[in-house]
Structure 1
C-alpha cells in the first residue's frame, strides 16, 4: 500500500468542524456545545495540545473556568470516535483532519518546535499489527512516534 503524508490540518475551519460533528453524530454521540468548543479549540492549535491547554482556551472563550478533567473525557471520546489522535509521548492531542478516515498514524514530532506531522504507512503498521496478533493480542492499535528535528528547525541548526 502507498505511503501517505498528512499534516494534521488538511481540512480546516468550518469544513473540519462540520466533518467532525457529522462523524460524531454518525457514531451515535451528541455534538454538544461543550464538545464543539473543545473540538474548535483543538483544531485551532498549531501543535499538539494538552487537555490543560484546551481547557484554558475554552475557558477564556467562555469567560469561565473549564475543568481539565471534563476536557480529558471529551478528548478521550474524540479519540475513540476518530476525531482526534493522542500523541502518547507528549500526553497531547491533535485534531484528525480526516474524521471519517480510519488509519494508523506514524507521528513525526519535532523536539525543538513541537510540530507534529503524521504519515500513514499501512505496510509498516500492518507488520506491527501482525506481530502483535501473532503474540496473541487482539484489537491492536499501533502507536508509532518518531522524534527529531523538522525541516525548518534543522535548517536553523
Structure 2
C-alpha cells in the first residue's frame, strides 16, 4: 500500500518480548499477570473483550481472574502502545509493533467480527490536520471502517 507505515512486526515468542521492552521503556513493570494478559490477548485471532481475556487467563493460570483486573491492565497496555482498542466492539487487539507509535485504521467485518489493522500515515495525518484546522487538538484518532470482509462478501 502506498504511504503505508513500514516497520518490523515481531511474531511468536518475539512479540511478548517486544511488548515487555516497550512497557519497561515506558517506566512500567512487566509482571507475571501482565505477561499472562498480553500472551492471552495476542493469541486471539479477533478482537477480544476483557471478559474473553479474563476467561483465557483464568484457564491458563488455573485460578479465577477478574475482568476488572484485566481492564486495568488493558488500559495500561493501550496507554503504553501494547494494545489497541477497537472502540465499536469494546474489544482489544495486541499491537504487533509495540515499539512503533502511530495512528491506525481498523476494518471491522460486521458478519464475522474479523478486524484488519491498516497503517496508512497519509490518511491518519490528514485526519489529524483536519482536526487541527478545526481548532481541535487530537490525542488519539480512532478510525474504524465497518463493512464485510472478503471472506463474508
Shorter-chain TM-score range: over 0.9
Distance 1:77 1:135 in 2: 30
Q: Which residue of 2 aligns with 1:96?
A: 95
Q: Which residue of 1 aligns with 2:47?
A: 48
Higher fraction of strand: 1
**Which structure 2 residues correspond to residues 1-157 of structure 1 after superposition, within 5 A?**
2-4=3-5, 10-154=9-153
Aligned residues: 151
Runs of 4+ residues over 4 Å off in structure 1? none
Give the TM-score, by structure 1 length: 0.90
- Higher relative CO (Cα under 8 Å, sequence separation at least 6) belongs to 1
Distance 1:111 1:146 in 2: 10
Distance 1:23 1:52 in 2: 25
Give the TM-score, by structure 2 length: 0.92
Distance 1:22 1:117 in 2: 25
Root-mean-square deviation over aligned CA pairs: 1.7
The answer (yes or no) to whether the contact 1:129–1:141 under 8 Å persists in 2 is no
- Once the 2 structures are TM-superposed, how far is the Cα of residue 11 of structure 1 from its aligned partner? 2.8
- Once the 2 structures are TM-superposed, how far is the Cα of residue 138 of structure 1 from its aligned partner? 2.3
- In structure 2, the gaps of 5 or more residues are none
The answer (yes or no) to whether the contact 1:5–1:119 under 8 Å persists in 2 is no
